[in-house]
Amino acid sequence: LGLKAEQKTRPSKSTRQERAKQRVKIKPLRDSLDRIEKEIDKATKVQQQLDQQLADPDIYNEANRSQLRELLFDQARNAQLHQELEGRWLEASELLEQADVPA
């Protein structure tokens, strides 16, 4: 009796194999998502550093005009990168959600 109950709750071998194949199939998507998340974290840290530098009132002095221009350029470029990364993250997470199966 105990064996039959265990067999009913345990997925069949073919079901387990199919799930394993699916996990292997979606691993590149998960890895891609992890890489994108790390890039987003890096871009966020860069943005925080730029914001900190731009918060310094001395940066707005005439003598620091070229440095200010460079910081503003870097800030705009980083914001664009962050936006692109978020778009890639959304795409990758949607693909993963579509391909993902219950564990």
Residues 76-97 pLDDT 10s: 999 999 999 999 999 999 998 8
CA–CA distances in Å: residue 37 to residues 40, 55, 88, 91: 5, 27, 10, 13
Number of domains, the chain:
1
Contact predicate 82/43, CB 8 Å: yes
Residues 35-81 pLDDT 10s: 999 999 999 999 999 999 999 999 999 999 999 999 999 999 999 99
Residue 101 has pLDDT above 70, yes or no: no
**In which domain, by residue range, is 49 found?**
2-99
The pLDDT value given to residue 10: 81
